[in-house]
Amino acid sequence: MRILIFGDVVGRSGRRKVCEALPFLRRDLAVDFAIVNGENAAGGFGITPKICDQFIAAGADVVTTGNHVWDQKDIIPYFDKEKRLLRPHNYPEGTPGTGMGTYEDSEGRRVLVIHFMGLLFMPSLDDPFTGIERALLNKKMGEEYAAIIVDFHGEATSEKVAIGHMLDGRVSAVVGTHSHIPTADHQILPGGSGYITDLGMCGDYDSVIGMKKETSIARFRKKVPAPRLEAAQGEATLCGVIIDTDDDTGLTTNITPFREGGRLSPTPPFVSKNNQEPR
């Protein structure tokens, strides 16, 4: 199975780039399943039902979020309607929505997506290490699921790496989100799970992690109230990974970073299953 995962989408330029590119990438790269982290898609703060629908219409099988999930109030009742939208699973019991779901690709292969948020330098939630163990109880790759993907939304690299090693061999891949900066540590861990500390963002990199740089700099330099942060609107770079898994075991056979457009250096053209380079 080939899985494409995009990091945090930031603002209008990021979501426009994702929605324009995703249908072609699914076709050209022979993608079987696509996940988009959309937590900053609404002007940099949260996601709306309309934007979530746009991602799904473009080809996202699942949309994950993060610490900005509740910034847009109209998204709260939407969780009861759209099961392809996930919030971090370690919010307290009774919180709208869920952070875990089972989905199928076009061939009927079952994919379990699990979404948790870290605790270091983040809002105080339930322990993600215990929560993930509970979420994986009695769930087996290669039997019940063709693949299990964990989106771990966290600030601290150490916490993300620890989660990756804890889950190695038990999930297809652990991908980190939240920092908006793509890391260079994509790898297959010793037990066979794919891993990357942060996917990066789908947004304008002529910015401070997706926000207009002048306002962001002013907020660091001055200890007085500054104007509200706004998402930068220049050309976005798509950042994420492409993961190939073994259907029999669910483990990762290849993990490749993906960057296209905007200011960051693009990754080399990725050759699809049909040996055709995209676009």
- Tell me the catalytic residues: 68
Short-list 241, 219, 226, CA closest to 173:
241
Token readout for 174 is: 């652990």
Give the bridge partners for 152, in sequence order: 116, 176
